[in-house]
Amino acid sequence: MNILQNISLQAYNTFGIDVKAKEFVEVHSLEELKTLCSVFNLLERNILVLGGGSNILLTKDFEGMVICNRLEGIEKLHEDDEFIWVKAMAGEVWHHFVLWCIQRGYAGIENLSLIPGCVGAAPMQNIGAYGVEIKDVFDSLEAVEIATGEMKTFTRAACKFGYRESVFKHEAKGKYIISSVTFKLYKQPRFNTSYGAIQQVLDKKGVKELSIKAISDAVIEIRSSKLPDPKKLGNSGSFFKNPEIPSMQFEQLKQQYADMVGYPASPGFTKVAAGWLIEQCGWKGKVVGNTGSHKDQALVLVNYGGATGAEIWQLAMDIQQSVKDKFGIEIVPEVNVI
Ligand SMILES: Cc1cc2nc3c(=O)[nH]c(=O)nc-3n(C[C@H](O)[C@H](O)[C@H](O)COP(=O)(O)OP(=O)(O)OC[C@H]3O[C@@H](n4cnc5c(N)ncnc54)[C@H](O)[C@@H]3O)c2cc1C
């Protein structure tokens, strides 16, 4: 295990923010991870665990230890007539894992194709796209408890998944390093093509026989055409969560803004498209210094080159305030601001 000092994190976050970490270590095995916990007394230190760095905004140098999770490996555990249990180590690239499952006909995560990042971060915010969230196929996860170096298992219930939420963003925050995730996948696919443009793309391609591969290809095509590629334009995907507001408030706003976009949420609440709110406030495509809101996706904040995390955070706060002023709705970041 090689602990490096004063390392630039620019290559380790998809915003491409150039801040330094006081200490930086890549962990390749469970043994290394446990050693790190016991030898370095991580509880007393300021630590930041990183996977692909695709859901963070680094606003300043990190005066602590960055632990890059590089634990690899995927294995089929067992199966019954209906399901297959597959365990993936936390450092596996999420999309590679999705493709691995599709190749073997293991269904359930095809709609989550091409989401950046690693397997270990997926439960953190219960990643979701095109009508599927990982909670739908989640079995359990294993994590090292930082205080003791011991392994703990979290069931689906223990993870307390919600919309872009889990226990790891709340009471378990900063207490565990996720080492592996076990998924319960379907042998017989349950196709979900009702979200976004999936069906449209399948029709356009003339797909006659639906398969998990065809859905994955459609999702990849849509995502590649819609979202800026972080390798070309630094970003962290959707910066804000879609807010849930009381349905009464939604109905009132709808009288004023007839084209306001909303979806049913928990009883009595409506989920409003944050991108629409931001666009209505005039931010879509607006460039502010080295940053801005993307021209095609108002919800995606971008680094046009050389932006600091503080600059992006200032933009995010200005957007947040203008949405509050215009609609009386508070939008909160989905991205982890460090
Ligand atoms: C272009 C683009 C599109 C995106 N589209 C989507 C989308 O459709 N749906 C969606 O849900 N998300 C989306 N995202 C966000 C992002 O891809 C996911 O949140 C992803 O799961 C983050 O993975 P990561 O490995 O990059 O996490 P990181 O950014 O490295 O970390 C995210 C958080 O998890 C913590 N963490 C990471 N690994 C571990 C671990 N092993 N143990 C404990 N804590 C850990 C970190 O400390 C941090 O707080 C998108 C991002 C981009 C750039």
- Same domain flag for 118 and 88: yes
**Who contacts 309 (Cβ-Cβ below 8 Å, separation ≥6)?**
15, 17, 19, 57, 58, 59, 60, 338
- Of the three residues 54, 69, 84, the one that is the final residue of a domain is 69
Ligand 1 centroid to Cα of residue 134, in Å, is 13
- Same domain flag for 62 and 80: no
Q: What are 269-285's pLDDT values in tens digits? A: 999 999 999 999 999 99
CATH number at residue 58: 3.30.43.10
Which of the listed residues 28, 54, 69, 165 should we mutate to test ligand 1's pocket, taking the one with most ligand atoms within 8 A of CB?
A: 54
- Same domain flag for 256 and 295: yes
User: In percent, how much of the chain has pLDDT > 90?
Assistant: 92
- Same domain flag for 108 and 131: yes
Residue 38's pLDDT band, with cuts at 50, 70 and 90, is confident
Mean pLDDT of the chain: 96
Domain enclosing residue 180, as ranges:
74-226
CATH number at residue 111: 3.30.465.10
| Residue 235 CB less than 6 A away from ligand 1 | yes
| Residue 178 CB less than 6 A away from ligand 1 | yes
CATH number at residue 320: 3.90.78.10
Q: Which residues are catalytic?
A: 164, 238, 334
- Of the three residues 226, 258, 276, the one that is the final residue of a domain is 226
Residue nearest to atom 32 of ligand 1 (CA): 55
Which of the listed residues 28, 30, 49, 55 should we mutate to test ligand 1's pocket, taking the one with most ligand atoms within 8 A of CB?
A: 55
| Residue 13 CB less than 6 A away from ligand 1 | no
Report the domain count for the chain: 3
Q: What are 153-182's pLDDT values in tens digits? A: 999 999 999 999 999 999 999 999 999 999
- Same domain flag for 155 and 121: yes
- Same domain flag for 102 and 130: yes
Q: Do the beta carbons of residue 142 and residue 177 sit within 8 Å?
A: no
- Same domain flag for 79 and 212: yes
- Of the three residues 69, 94, 111, the one that is the final residue of a domain is 69
| Residue 123 CB less than 6 A away from ligand 1 | no
- Same domain flag for 135 and 45: no
pLDDT at 1 over 90: no
